[in-house]
Structure 1
Amino acid sequence: MNSTNSRVADENLSMSFQTCEKICLGPKTPLKGKFQASLGVHEIFSPETWKAALIELVATASLMVTFTASIIACLDSQELDPKLIIPFAVFIIAFLFLIVTVPLSGGHMSPVFTFIAALKGFVTISRALLYVLAQCIGSIIGFYILNCVMDPKLINTYSLGGCALGDKGLNSSINQHEALLLEFSCTFLVLFLGVTLAFDKKRSKNLGLPLVCLVVAGSMALAVFLSITVSGRTGYAGVGLNPARCLGAALLHGGSLWNGHWLFWVGPILACLLYYSVSINLPKEVSVWDDEEYVVLKLPLGSCRTIPNGDILNDITIEGGAQGYQVHV
C-alpha cells in the first residue's frame, strides 16, 4: 500500500515539474520570442491598433491645417519681426494637440516620435509602421484642404507653409549641409528635453499629463525659435521637426519644396539614432540630498563629540525633508 502511494506521489510530482517547466520557463528560444513580440504582427489584427492609427491620421491632418495656417498668418501679419510670434503659436498648438491625443494614441503626429518610440520599445514595429503611414496620409489630406481653400497668392508666396530651403541653385537661401545640421541639432534638442521626460514613467506620473505636454511643446517651440533666429535666412522656413509635414507640402505644392527634401528625413533619423545611444546610457535617478553623508552640518561635527560652547553633540538632531535640513537643539 505504501509503495503504491509512493509511486502515485512520484508521478504527481513529475507532472508538477513538467507543468512548472512549461509555465515558468517560457519559450525555448526567448530571443525569438522577444523579436516576434517587438514586431507586433498580432497588432495588425487588433481593432484598437487601427483606431489609434486613425486618431494619428485625423490628428496629423488637423495639426497640419492649424499649424500651417497659423504660421502663414504670422508671416503675413504687419509685424516687423514675427520670429517671436511663430514659436509662441507653435507652443500653443502643440500643447493643445498633445494633451488631447496622448491618452488616445500616444500623441505622436510625427514619424520622429514614432521612430524613437519604436527604438525604445514603447511601440511595436507593426504599430510604428501603421502610425507613420497614417501620419503621411494625414499630412497629405491636411495640405490638400489648405491648397483648396487658401489664396493662391499666399500659397506661392509662402510655398504652402512647407519645409523650404529656397529655390534651387544660386537662389537657395541656405546651404543644404547647414540645414541638415540645424535639422539634426534641433530634433535632438526636442528629443533630449521632451522625450526624456515623456518616456520616464515615474516622473511623468508625478508631474502629470499637462506639465509633461508643456515641456514637450516648449521644447518644440524652442527648436523652431533657434532655427529661425540662428540662420537668419529669409527664404529658410526653419526646421521641419516632422518629415510627414514636409512630405505633404512637397507632394501638393512641389517646386522648390523638393529642394533638399531628403535632409528633413535624414536629419531627424540621425538625431533619433544618436539620442537612442545616449538615452540607454543615461544615469539612473540619483538623489544625494537624502544621503546623510552629504549633510553639511554633520561634516565638521563628525570628528568630535562636543561643540565649542560645551553642549553635548548628542543633544542635537538633524532632520531632513523636502523643505531642507533643520537643526533642533
Structure 2
Amino acid sequence: MDSPNNSQVVDNNEQFPRHVQGYYETKCLVPKLSLDNKLLASLGAHELLRIETWKGAMTELVATASLMFTLTTSIIACLDSHEVYPKFLVPFAVFIITFLFLIVTVPLSGGHMNPVLTFIATLKGLVTISRALIYMLAQCMGSIIGFFIIKSVMEPKLIHMYCLGGCAISGIKQQEALLLEFSCTFVVLFVGITLAFDKKKSKDLGLPMVCVVVAGSMGLAVFVSITVTGQAGYAGVGLNPARCLGPALLYGGPLWNGHWVFWVGPFLACMGYYAVSINLPKQGLVWVDGEYDVLKLAKLAMGSCGNINVSNIALSSDLQV
C-alpha cells in the first residue's frame, strides 16, 4: 500500500483492516481512563483509605473540642469578671489560647480547628477536597463535644446569661454582622494565613513566630469586632463556623437568629482573599542603593545641559530578584 500524501485525507475505515481499527479504537479509551484517574487523585479519593488522614481528622476533632472548651470558658470568665473593661481581656485570652493550640497541632494535622482555615487551604491546593470534608466534619463534631462538656459542667445561670458562649447577633443588624464577619476574617487570612502558607518565610521565622502572627491576627479581629460596634449585646465575630454550630445545636433559641451570617461571611472572605492572593507578588522587591535617590533624580531632571540620557536612570524593570 502506498503511503498517502500529506495533502490527502486518510480514511481510517478504508486504509486499515478491522483488527487494526479495533486497536485504534481501544487506544482512544486510554486518555479517558487517565483523565478519570487524575480527577479522582485531584479530589483526594486515595486519602480515604490512608490511616494518616483519619489520624489527622481525629486530631482535629480532639483539638477543636479542647479549644472550644478552653476558649469559651475563658471568655465567659473574662466577661463575668469584675473588671471595669472586661472586653479588653477577651482578645488576650483568644491570643494566648489560640497560640498554645496552634503550636501543638500544626505539626500534627496542620492546626486548622476551623472550617475556614480548611477551606482556604483547599482553595490554595494544600489540602485535597476529600481531606477537607473529613476535617470539617471532625471540627463540627469536636465543637459539639466541647460545648456539650461546657453545658454539663457550667452553672445554669451563666449558660443562660451568655447563651452557652455561642455566636449571637444582638444589638446590630444582620447585614452589619455579615460585613464584620467578612472584614475580620479577611484580616485574619491576609495577615496570618499569608505568612503561614509561605513556606520560605515560615521556615525563616520558625513555627513559634508563625503561630504568634496567626493567633495575634485572631485576637486583633476579635478586639476590633467587640469595640467598633459599641453594642453591649454583641459578642463579636465568630471567625469559626464550627464554634457557632455547637452552641446553636445544644442551646438553640436566639443562636439560630442570623446563624447563616457566621457561615456565609467567613467563606465569602476566603473566596475574596483567594482572589487577592493569586495576584500578590511572588517575590519581594530588591532595592539597589541609590537607585531612587531623590537628589540624583533631581540633578538629572535639572541638568544645566538640558540633555538627559534616559539610560542613566535605573528603572524598576532592571531589578535583579
TM-score category of the 2 structures, normalised to the smaller one: 0.7 to 0.9
Q: Deviations over 1:59-91 (max 9, x none)?
A: 000000000000000000001111210000000
Matched letter for residue 284 of structure 1: K
Stretch deviating more after TM superposition (239-248 or 36-45): 36-45
Q: Tell me the matched-pair count.
A: 269
* In structure 1, C-alpha distance between the alignment counterparts of 2:295 and 2:181, rounded to whole Å: 50
* In structure 1, C-alpha distance between the alignment counterparts of 2:145 and 2:203, rounded to whole Å: 35
Asked if structure 2 preserves the Cα contact closer than 8 Å seen for 1:193 and 1:216, the reply is yes
Asked if structure 2 preserves the Cα contact closer than 8 Å seen for 1:38 and 1:121, the reply is no
Q: 2:69 aligns with which of 65, 68, 71?
A: 65
Q: 1:131 aligns with which of 108, 132, 135?
A: 135
Taking structure 2 as the reference length, what is the TM-score of the superposition? 0.80
Q: Deviations over 1:138-173 (max 9, x none)?
A: 00000000000000000000001110113xxxxxx1
Q: 1:294 aligns with which of 272, 291, 295?
A: 291
Matched letter for residue 61 of structure 2: L
Note the C-alpha offset of 1:28. 4.4
Q: 1:32 to 1:206 in 2, by over 3 A?
A: farther
* In structure 2, C-alpha distance between the alignment counterparts of 1:180 and 1:222, rounded to whole Å: 18
Match of 2:208 in 1: 210
Q: 1:31 to 1:157 in 2, by over 3 A?
A: same
Match of 2:17 in 1: none
Q: 1:190 to 1:297 in 2, by over 3 A?
A: closer
Matched letter for residue 294 of structure 1: E
Note the C-alpha offset of 1:296. 4.4
* In structure 1, C-alpha distance between the alignment counterparts of 2:90 and 2:247, rounded to whole Å: 19
Note the C-alpha offset of 1:197. 0.3
* In structure 2, C-alpha distance between the alignment counterparts of 1:78 and 1:115, rounded to whole Å: 39
> Residue 44 in 1 paired to residue 42 in 2?
no
Note the C-alpha offset of 1:38. 2.3
* In structure 1, C-alpha distance between the alignment counterparts of 2:35 and 2:189, rounded to whole Å: 29
After TM superposition, where is structure 1 displaced by more than 4 Å over at least 4 residues in a row? 27-34, 295-300
Matched letter for residue 68 of structure 1: T
Q: Deviations over 1:223-281 (max 9, x none)?
A: 00000000111111100000000000100111100010001000001000000010011
* In structure 2, C-alpha distance between the alignment counterparts of 1:92 and 1:218, rounded to whole Å: 9
Taking structure 1 as the reference length, what is the TM-score of the superposition? 0.78
* In structure 1, C-alpha distance between the alignment counterparts of 2:156 and 2:78, rounded to whole Å: 17
Q: Deviations over 1:160-218 (max 9, x none)?
A: 1110113xxxxxx1100000000010000000000000000110011100000000000
Asked if structure 2 preserves the Cα contact closer than 8 Å seen for 1:288 and 1:294, the reply is no
* In structure 1, C-alpha distance between the alignment counterparts of 2:38 and 2:266, rounded to whole Å: 27
Match of 2:308 in 1: none
* In structure 1, C-alpha distance between the alignment counterparts of 2:291 and 2:150, rounded to whole Å: 60
Q: 2:113 aligns with which of 109, 116, 123?
A: 109
Q: 1:214 to 1:34 in 2, by over 3 A?
A: farther
* In structure 1, C-alpha distance between the alignment counterparts of 2:55 and 2:191, rounded to whole Å: 29
Match of 1:145 in 2: 149
Matched letter for residue 208 of structure 1: G
| Structure 1: gaps of 5 or more residues | 1-26, 167-172, 304-329
| Structure 2: gaps of 5 or more residues | 1-29, 301-321
**3-state DSSP of counterpart to 2:202:** helix
Note the C-alpha offset of 1:292. 5.5
RMSD, matched Cα: 2.0
Percent sequence identity is 70
Q: Deviations over 1:271-309 (max 9, x none)?
A: 0000001001111222322x3672749958x99xxxxxx
Matched letter for residue 124 of structure 1: T
Matched letter for residue 97 of structure 1: F
Q: 1:31 to 1:279 in 2, by over 3 A?
A: farther
**3-state DSSP of counterpart to 2:87:** coil
